[in-house]
Each structure stands twice: as C-alpha cells, then as structure tokens.
Homo-oligomer: A and B are copies of this chain.
Amino acid sequence: MAPNAQAGDARLYFELPSPFPMKRGGQLHDAHIAYETWGVLSPAHDNAVLILTGLSPSAHAASSSRDPSPGWWEAMIGPGKAIDTDRWFVICVNSLGSDKGSTCPASIDPASGKPYRLSFPELALEDVANAAHATVSHLGISRLGCLIGCSMGGMSALAYMLLHPGSVCAHISVDTAPQAQPFAIAIRSLQREAIRLDPRWDEGNYDIHAKDSNHYPDTGMSIARKLGVITYRSAMEWNGRFARIRLDSEQRADEPFAREFQVESYLEGHARRFVRHFDPNSYLYLSRASDWFDIAEYGHGSVLEGLKRICIDCAMVIGVSTDILFPLQQQEQIAEGLQAAGASVEFVALDSPQGHDAFLVDIDNYSRAIGGFLNRLASA
C-alpha cells in the first residue's frame, strides 16, 4: 500500500495495477510508485516532461512549495531554468525497486507482512520503465512532450520508448548507454560483492532500521559507494581539484594506513552521506538490473537494430569525453541508432572534466544544451 503523503514531503504515490507483472518472472501485488511534479499540465496534456533517474536519486529532483529542500537537479528545473516549469509540466518518478518511496526489496510484502528482502522478484529496467509509464498514463498523459533519462535512467528511457510506441514525442539522453559493457558490469559486480561479502549483510537479512553498525552492512556499502564515486568522476578533475594535497594533521587518525590525502577524505565524506541513506538490497537489485539491460535484445543481437525500433520525432543525445562508466562511444551509438530510426537527432559531446557526474555538476553546459533543445521543441 502506498504511504500517505506527509507535510514537508512533496511525494505523490501511484498504486500500480495489481498484480504488476515483472519481465523476468513473478509479479508484485499492491505496489506503488513515488513521484513528484512541478508546473501545470496543459489542457491538451501535451506539455509533459518525464525524468527518469540514475540508480540512487529520489523523485525529489527540485524544490517546491511543499518541499522546499533542494532537489538533486535543482539548478536545472524551475521557472526560467533549462527545464522551465513555467512552460512544462515536469514529472520525476522514483524507480521501481528504489527505496526512495517506491515499492522495493525493503517494502512490506503483503503476502507475508514482512519485508521482501531477497524474495523481491528479479528487477529489470523494463519493469522500471513500465511502472513509470503506468504512472504517466494515470496522470492522463498519453504522449510525453519529452522524456529525459540520466545515467541508469537513460537506459530505462530507452526501454520506455521501445515498449510503449507512440508514447514519447522527443527524447533527451544524458550520459547513458544502450547496453551495459563489461567494464561497467565489472565495477558494479565488485560493488555488489563488497556488500554481499560483508557478514552484516547477512544474505539480505540485516536490520533495515539498525541504529548501530552491528546489524547493517556499513562496510560493504561504504566500499561500494567509494568505488562508485571513483567511476562517476574523472582523473582529470581530481588532478586539478586534489592533486597531492594532504589533510591537516588534526584531521588524520593516529592509526596505520589512515587517510592522509584530501582525495581519501573526499571519498569518505561521500560514503558517510550514502551508507545509511540507501537500502543495500535495493542497491543490489538496481545494480544488477543495470547490468542486464541490453537494447540489442530487441534487435536480434544488434544494438543498432534495437534502437531502430524506437519511434520518436526528435532527440538530443549528450555524453562526456571523460566518462569512464558510460563512454562517449555509447552515446554515439544511441545517436546513430535513433537517427537510423528516423528521428532528428542532435549529438552533444562535452569535454566537461567531471566525468559521468558532469550532468549534476557542469550545469552551464548541460543547461545550454537541454534548455536549447526544449525551447526549440516548444516553439516548433
């Protein structure tokens, strides 16, 4: 059952049709999706922009009167911003399987009255896409003005367009891939392994609300997050930002191999802010779903043929040369495939030094690209 919205929480909840079938087998009962919206839906229902997120962000992409705390894409979304809420009705959906409000492995299984944990059915990004599509349909929107997908959300967006032909007019693909490549699979596999090998993960049976670290896989989550951050940024950025700067001596622990360089402290800060703010089982499910995604499944083994089955009017595909997790060649593939499918495609290759995370940091370049595309769309 969807929780009731609370004061200071801008989240809305949509009850998915029950049972909700899952791609790889099994089904969910009484599942729900958390989402937020900004702006006003036009009478013709033709000004909707849907944002599908990366692995960890919530639906709180931007502040609103109900929840004034800054969102994860605060600089991009709002009145007069690149994703202009004076013009567009913007929806951000929390992925099915994420613990940021949607039904996930930490949710109560209505059949048992206990958390699903590893009894949650196998999750695919196609399920994430179908749940998002059901949410959008429920809002009375049959065709999105624009579908924006970032990182993992970009893969979910490809699934959305492929599984729901005619449901999207324009698409913005941000720092993503048409299939998981072995380097990204290796990174994610190692992140999962760090969690699974932590004895406190306990085969998924850790105490979800543990206050102490005796019954929660803090260690595994910390290693997983640090490895994530290493692959989300770039060596080039860090050379300029951290170089070989040391911590002050009072910041150093008096123990062998303690943190000594600023870059080590930076990673530790990221880990601390993450470890207790994302459910480890949810992380495992979404991580594996990312590995599994492969548009070539829909194209008889060919990425290009899979992409050619996507029917939209136009697209902007953005990538960054310093991204080691979703390398620029993969965005080129998406651009080529969508073009071959008949869409009018703009390809934007950025030199932002921040790596995969550039879309969260290099707001100038991303605003210019995304804002320009949406403005041309609105005036077309």
Interface residues of A (CB under 8 A from B): 118, 179-183, 185-187, 189-190, 192-194, 196-197, 199, 204, 219, 222-223, 226-227, 230, 234-235, 238-239, 241-244, 256-257, 259-264, 267, 284, 288, 291, 294, 324, 327
Whether A183 and B238, one on each chain, are in contact in the complex, defined by CB atoms closer than 8 angstroms, is: yes
Closest residue of chain B to A226 (Cβ to Cβ) is: B190
Whether A291 and B187, one on each chain, are in contact in the complex, defined by CB atoms closer than 8 angstroms, is: no
Whether B238 and A186, one on each chain, are in contact in the complex, defined by CB atoms closer than 8 angstroms, is: yes
Whether A118 and B256, one on each chain, are in contact in the complex, defined by CB atoms closer than 8 angstroms, is: yes
Whether B257 and A223, one on each chain, are in contact in the complex, defined by CB atoms closer than 8 angstroms, is: no
A227 to B189, CA, bound (A): 11
Closest residue of chain B to A227 (Cβ to Cβ) is: B190
**A189-B259 in contact given A235-B324, A327-B235 (Cβ < 8 Å):** yes
The smallest C-beta distance from A352 to any residue of chain B, in angstroms, reads 16
For A226, list chain B residues within 8 Å (CB): 186, 190, 193
Closest residue of chain B to A284 (Cβ to Cβ) is: B257
For A196, list chain B residues within 8 Å (CB): 257
A–B complex contacts, Cβ < 8 Å, 9 sampled: A181-B235, A181-B239, A182-B239, A182-B242, A183-B239, A187-B230, A190-B230, A194-B194, A235-B327
The smallest C-beta distance from A76 to any residue of chain B, in angstroms, reads 27
For A262, list chain B residues within 8 Å (CB): 182
Whether A190 and B267, one on each chain, are in contact in the complex, defined by CB atoms closer than 8 angstroms, is: yes
